[in-house]
């Protein structure tokens, strides 16, 4: 098993090589092991996917529970694990620092901090405070004894603020604050993605696997994107299959869904 230092170096190197790579988002240990077995090179958590597995909505899982989740995943895979740290679980920069420290102690070698407040009346932090929060996160990561890749997220597009110019200004500010990777989930246009990539000098992550975006790995590489993550999409796909099967049983009294399910022995062989 790789050490945390080795995982941190491997994860950093993925962002330095030519072309884009896929970093899928498992929602539990089983999905993480399946993805590792399929040959993916790194993993990142999904706050929504994990919340759904607990029967909760996204944002309803507290920091302690999330860190326990990370502590169960990180040592159970040989792959670098990055973490969806939401907004750091608090407004003040001090909360962000503590969250980074806890994630590192749990075994993560990367994590994202977003500029969404979690409040409907004021969904996005003032840019000044948002930058302070990223500065604090950067300082926390630089004090770690291994490479921790920090991703700064601008959440405009997920909160009905599809303002590309403001999104770019924010990500440029987060870049200047020292973020290693930049991320604006919700972009769907190739032109918007290309404009963002050309406007910054850090690796850019793009969210794929949801309605509205059609972007292949090859197309992402051509646009200059470095990383493609799936967010809650894999978890939603799995739950979608469950719901479809349940509806068939409930509405038709039939069980044909089993014909398309992965075989018991085939799935068993993928676990270790």
Give CA separation, 268 vs 30, 32, 74, 198, in Å: 11, 14, 22, 45
Report the range of poorest mean pLDDT among 30-39, 119-128, 186-195, 262-271: 262-271
Share of the chain above pLDDT 90, in %: 97
Spatial CB neighbours of 56, under 8 Å, sequence gap ≥ 6: none
**Taking a C-beta distance cutoff of 8 angstroms, is the pair 80, 8 a contact?**
yes
93-106 and 63-73 helices, crossing angle to 10°? 30
Q: Read off the pLDDT band of 212 (50, 70, 90).
A: confident
Q: How far is Cα 221 from Cα 228, in angstroms, rounded to an integer?
A: 10
pLDDT at 211: 82
114-135 pLDDT, tens digit each: 999 999 999 999 999 999 999 9
Task: Using the predicted structure, report yes or no on whether residue 272 has a pLDDT greater than 80.
Answer: no
Which CATH architecture is the domain 4-233 placed in?
Alpha-Beta Barrel (3.20)
Token pair of 42 as six digits: 């790194």
Mean predicted confidence (pLDDT) in 224-242:
98
Average pLDDT of the chain to the nearest whole number:
97
Mean predicted confidence (pLDDT) in 210-239:
96
51-86 pLDDT, tens digit each: 999 999 999 999 999 999 999 999 999 999 999 999
**Taking a C-beta distance cutoff of 8 angstroms, is the pair 74, 81 a contact?**
yes
> In residues, how long is the chain?
272
pLDDT at 140: 98
Q: How far is Cα 114 from Cα 126, in angstroms, rounded to an integer?
A: 12
Residue 34's Cβ-side half-sphere holds a number of Cα atoms within 13 Å equal to 14
**Taking a C-beta distance cutoff of 8 angstroms, is the pair 228, 205 a contact?**
yes
For tokens 């962000």, what's the residue? 96
174-200 pLDDT, tens digit each: 999 999 999 999 999 999 999 999 999
Mean predicted confidence (pLDDT) in 193-220:
96
Mean predicted confidence (pLDDT) in 206-211:
92
Task: Using the predicted structure, report yes or no on whether residue 210 has a pLDDT greater than 90.
Answer: no
pLDDT at 243: 98
40-49 pLDDT, tens digit each: 999 999 999 9
Mean predicted confidence (pLDDT) in 214-227:
97
Spatial CB neighbours of 151, under 8 Å, sequence gap ≥ 6: 82, 110, 111, 112, 113, 179, 180, 181, 182, 183, 205
Which of helix, strand or coil describes residue 110? strand
């Amino acid at each position: 098993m790789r050490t945390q230092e080795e995982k941190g170096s491997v994860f950093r190197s993925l962002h330095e090589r030519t072309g884009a790579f896929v970093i899928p988002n498992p929602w539990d240990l089983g999905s993480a092991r399946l993805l590792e077995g399929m040959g993916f090179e790194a993993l990142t958590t999904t706050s929504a996917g994990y919340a759904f597995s607990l029967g909760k909505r996204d944002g309803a899982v507290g920091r302690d529970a999330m860190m326990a989740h990370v502590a169960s995943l990180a040592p159970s895979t040989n792959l670098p694990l990055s973490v969806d740290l939401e907004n750091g679980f608090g407004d003040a920069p001090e909360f962000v620092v503590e969250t980074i420290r806890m994630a590192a102690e749990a075994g993560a070698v990367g994590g994202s901090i977003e500029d969404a407040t979690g409040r409907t009346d004021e969904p996005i932090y003032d840019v000044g405070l948002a930058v302070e929060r990223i500065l604090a996160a950067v300082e926390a990561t630089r004090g770690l004894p291994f490479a921790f890749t920090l991703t700064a997220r601008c959440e405009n597009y997920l909160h009905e603020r599809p303002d590309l110019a403001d999104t770019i200004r924010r990500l440029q500010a987060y870049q200047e604050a020292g973020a290693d990777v930049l991320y604006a989930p919700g972009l769907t246009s190739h032109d918007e993605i290309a404009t963002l990539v050309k406007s910054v000098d850090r690796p850019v992550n793009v969210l794929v696997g949801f309605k509205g975006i059609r972007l292949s790995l090859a197309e992402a590489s051509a646009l200059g994107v470095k990383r493609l993550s799936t967010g809650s999409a894999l978890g939603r796909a799995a739950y979608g299959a469950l719901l479809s099967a349940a509806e068939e049983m409930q509405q038709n009294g039939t069980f044909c869904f089993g014909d398309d399910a992965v075989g018991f022995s085939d799935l068993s062989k993928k676990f270790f």
